[in-house]
Chain A
Amino acid sequence: MTLSDEILTTDGLVPKQIKGRILVLACGALAHEILALIRLNGWDHLDLTCLPAILHSAPDKIPQAVEDAVEKHRDAYQAIFVAYADCGTGGRLESLCARLGVEMIQGPHCYSFFEGNDAFENRAEGEVDVFYLTDFLTRQFDTFVIKVLGLDRHPELLEMYFGNYTRLIYQAQTNDPALDRLAEAAAERLGLRYERRFTGYGDLATSLGDL
């Protein structure tokens, strides 16, 4: 059965049955990538559950949602790993994870850990005017960008949102020409120069590999 992006966006992913020792509690936008890593590496000790990816657009709600999920699942597992970076929570998620005694991914956001936090930081100064998309966000561009920002109803707001950006970089986790075309079309719609950068799974792979 294929995982629906729409369901990952609004509902997340519920673990079917407890098989592993460690639960990865992730953003729904990372579900495909984490399942691919589990499959590729045979990490049978890891189970995955996801919170709705749409929380990406409401970061202030992420810490409470993570806390609720940790409390719900912690008795069933030896450990829980939170597959979120800071994700716009201004350090609140890190403080929460420390209080709950669970680990999380290092870095400010998925754009950073997909590229590798060190590499991303090194480039940061030259990329202040870059808007990033990942594989998931490219597929869900209409939901996460166009609809959330109201550009479907009010295209005249485009300049207010994106007037200070110059480039869209599509951080490709996989090589898929169809996604390249979607990302390029997204850049065109936002009036930004397009660039593709293959990242693979970056620090997400190493973080999960350490578990």
Chain B
Amino acid sequence: MSDEEDIILSELNDEELTQQMHDDLYDGLKEEIEEAVNILLARGWEPYRVLTEALVAGMTIVGHDFRDGILFVPEVLLAANAMKAGMSILKPLLIESGAPRMGKMVIGTVKGDIHDIGKNLVSMMMEGAGFEVVDLGINNPVEAYLDALETEKADILGMSALLTTTMPYMKVVIDTMIEKGIRDDYTVLVGGAPLNEEFGKAIGADSYCRDAAVAVETAKDYMASKHNQLAD
């Protein structure tokens, strides 16, 4: 998607610049993304608009092409790095400007598992979609999840595992939530390479999420239905 000639980002109009940012995210060009975010902010764009129209929209294209086998993990990671750089400029501004909040998620990789690439992508995309994310990192025992859910007053629990040997631990967490009578207080989303929908159902999760984009859409759906229930 790169052009041969040098493009002066500041000379592009808003529409061209947004399009260029989608291309630059696709190509994982971190510095260009940082520059473009600052240009849009200087032009008076609201931070939330920069986030959604430039970064999230661009990363969604990356996600689709990853799902369709056009892009592979290294390219997605480079794109994620570029998006993260843009988000780090926007984050303090989003807090100041009171951007809409969709809900709160506690997320972490399960005990015995140190893999966090997928989890980190989900965290970032959830933040991009307006969720507050409390990331517990890797190798989390059940107590870490339950403590964080309670302390943070979260709406959603996200669990990730990359290994066949560690994914059953998700059931340990859910069973403990059932024992303590708190399972229905939270939406539980699970993901990771060896998982599938059948596994998600078997362990009692609300949903298995194939990728970060699905996680975001699923979380939004659950939050919407929760609000509808409260409104009834």
B-binding residues in A (CB < 8 A): 59-60, 86, 88-92, 108-109, 124-125, 128-129, 149-151, 153-154, 157, 160-161, 164-165
Contact B74 A150 (CB under 8 A): yes
Residues in B neighbouring A149, C-beta threshold 8 A: 73-74
Does B138 touch A at the CB level, under 8 Å? yes
Residues in A neighbouring B81, C-beta threshold 8 A: 160
Does B105 touch A at the CB level, under 8 Å? no
- Chain B 86-117: CB-based contact to A (< 8 A → 1; otherwise 0): 00000000000000000000000000111111
Does B165 touch A at the CB level, under 8 Å? yes
- Give me 26 A-to-B residue pairs in the complex whose CB atoms sit less than 8 angstroms apart, sorted by A's number: A59-B193, A59-B194, A88-B164, A88-B193, A89-B194, A90-B193, A90-B195, A90-B196, A91-B164, A91-B199, A108-B164, A109-B164, A124-B112, A128-B112, A149-B73, A150-B72, A150-B74, A151-B74, A154-B28, A154-B77, A154-B78, A157-B74, A157-B77, A157-B78, A164-B115, A164-B138
Does B56 touch A at the CB level, under 8 Å? no
Q: How far is the CA of A59 from the CA of B77 in the complex (A)?
A: 20
Q: How large is the interface on B (under 10, 10 to 19, 20 to 34, 35 or more residues)?
A: 20 to 34
Residues in A neighbouring B164, C-beta threshold 8 A: 86, 88-91, 108-109
Q: How far is the CA of A86 from the CA of B194 in the complex (A)?
A: 10
Contact A92 B165 (CB under 8 A): no
Q: How far is the CA of A62 from the CA of B184 in the complex (A)?
A: 36
Q: How far is the CA of A31 from the CA of B161 in the complex (A)?
A: 29
- The interface residues of chain B, by DSSP majority, are classed as loop
- Chain B 65-78: CB-based contact to A (< 8 A → 1; otherwise 0): 00000001111011
Residue of B72, B165, B194, B195 touching A124 (CB-CB under 8 A): B165
Residues in A neighbouring B165, C-beta threshold 8 A: 108, 124
Q: How far is the CA of A109 from the CA of B81 in the complex (A)?
A: 31
Residues in B neighbouring A59, C-beta threshold 8 A: 193-194
Contact A90 B199 (CB under 8 A): yes
How far in angstroms is the closest Cβ of chain A from B113?
Answer: 7
How far in angstroms is the closest Cβ of chain A from B174?
Answer: 17
Q: How far is the CA of A92 from the CA of B199 in the complex (A)?
A: 10
Looking at A92, A108, A164, the one whose CB has the most chain B CB atoms below 10 A away is: A164
- Which A-chain residue is minimally distant from B78 (CB atoms)? A154
- Which A-chain residue is minimally distant from B161 (CB atoms)? A90
- Which A-chain residue is minimally distant from B74 (CB atoms)? A150
- Which A-chain residue is minimally distant from B193 (CB atoms)? A88
- Which A-chain residue is minimally distant from B72 (CB atoms)? A150
Residues in B neighbouring A128, C-beta threshold 8 A: 112-114, 139
Contact B117 A160 (CB under 8 A): yes
Q: How far is the CA of A165 from the CA of B116 in the complex (A)?
A: 11
Residues in A neighbouring B28, C-beta threshold 8 A: 154
Q: Which of B99-153 contact A (CB under 8 A)?
A: 112-117, 138-139
Contact A88 B194 (CB under 8 A): yes
Contact A150 B75 (CB under 8 A): yes
Residues in B neighbouring A129, C-beta threshold 8 A: 114
